[in-house]
Amino acid sequence: MKDKIRLELEKLIDPSLKMSLKQSEGIKHIGYDEEHDLVTLIIAIGKKSDQAERSLRMDVTKLIKQTLGHKGLKLEIEENKKIESITKGKCTFIGIASGKGGVGKSTVVVNIANRLMKKGHKVGIIDADIYGSSIPKLLNVPHEFPHYDENQKIAPITYQTMQVISTEFFTNPKEPVIWRGGMLHSMLEHFFYDVAWDKELEYMLIDLPPGTGDVMLDVKSYIPQAKMIIVTTPHLSASHVAIKAGFAALKLDHQILGVIENMSYYKNPINGQRENIFGEGGGLEVSKLLGAELLAQIPIDQPKKHPAIFDIDEDNGKLYDDIADLIIFNEVDYD
């Protein structure tokens, strides 16, 4: 019975999108109570308006009662946020993961995002490290609560032309975030579906928290097409954990764009020699085991003109610029 109802419903048109409910994946629930011959439906449409709702309600009622001859109908119409979501567009999503904390993931995120932006691309950042969000601090943007735009979507904070969203904006900076898994999940859902992202966004960088848990699984379910960059330090204790994060990404079928070894060495300013303060070999080890390219070895250094972002005339700025080129021109060796 339900299959027949579904088959017929799929032909109806979502008036807000001008596409069939099959194409829009708008049929959310079909229930049938045989005793009372009652059909219960939840249908999602692209954009709710009185007119669209009225027109769909009429079509559905006609179909269920007249054409299919059922006695009762309970119909709920809701808005299908996912259709308009940034995750459905052409944007390239890149998750920056490491498994281990403190290796420089967030620093890598803001620097790659900055170089992509400087090359004229539209870039967004999702700070998915809910408990330890640091992107606003690294970008040095003031703490402000985002406002809702005219469509009731959350307006992201901007850093130059970059769009940024982080839990940090929604909480008191002096209070820790103590949330359970479910809330974590809904926050990410908000970030993907309820933020007024620029529809032309080309690159979205996602700063993933340490570990290989819930957030990675959520990223998979919302954006299966996301690619990953794995960050490690040269120390084998870091690479050991980064490898696990990499394998988790591969198991979830994410393409690994490459590996970045951060804090690779210190270049002694007096004699110009490399000093392997945090050991060596981690980046190569991760790249070998994951079969992914070692994109860069970034030395220990602090930017001169900004708290976290290197300028193009600094050595690390050039390295990040090369990584941005690799991403843009897709010259990464995927084997």
Ligand X SMILES: Nc1ncnc2c1ncn2[C@@H]1O[C@H](COP(=O)(O)OP(=O)(O)OP(=O)(O)O)[C@@H](O)[C@H]1O
Torsion of CA 144, 149, 153, 155, to 10 degrees: -40
Q: Does 239 bind ligand X (CB under 6 A)?
A: no
Stated as kind and residue range, the H or E segment containing 274 is strand 274-275
The answer to whether the CB of 249 falls within 8 A of the CB of 216 is yes
Q: From the CB of 263, what's the least distance to ligand X, in Å?
A: 5
- Which range in 24-32, 69-77, 127-135, 158-166 contacts Mg ion by CB under 5 A? 127-135
Burial per residue of 12-33, b for 16 or more beta-carbon CB atoms within 10 angstroms, e otherwise = bbbbbbeeebeebebbeebeee
Residues 135-164 interacting with ligand X (rule: CB under 6 A): none
Q: Using CB under 6 A, which of 24, 80, 107, 212 touches ligand X?
A: 107
How far is 165 from 187, CA to CA, in rounded Å? 11
Residue 132 sits in the site that holds ligand X (CB under 6 A): yes
Is 282 in contact with 239 (CB distance < 8 Å)?
yes
| Residue number, 155 or 300, with CB nearest to ligand X | 300
99 is an interface residue for ligand X by CB under 6 A: no
Of 102 and 173, which CB lies nearer to ligand X in the complex structure?
Answer: 102
The piece of 26-34, 98-106, 188-196, 197-205 that touches ligand X (CB under 6 A) is 98-106
Q: How far is the CB of 134 from Mg ion (least distance, A)?
A: 5
Residue 247 backbone dihedrals phi, psi, to 5 degrees:
-65, -35
CB of 105 to ligand X, least distance (A): 4
213 binds ligand X (CB under 6 A): no
Helices 214-222 and 236-251 sit at what angle, rounded to 10 degrees?
Answer: 40
- Interaction between residue 89 and ligand X (CB under 6 A): no
Q: Residues interacting with Mg ion, by CB under 5 A?
A: 105-106, 129, 134
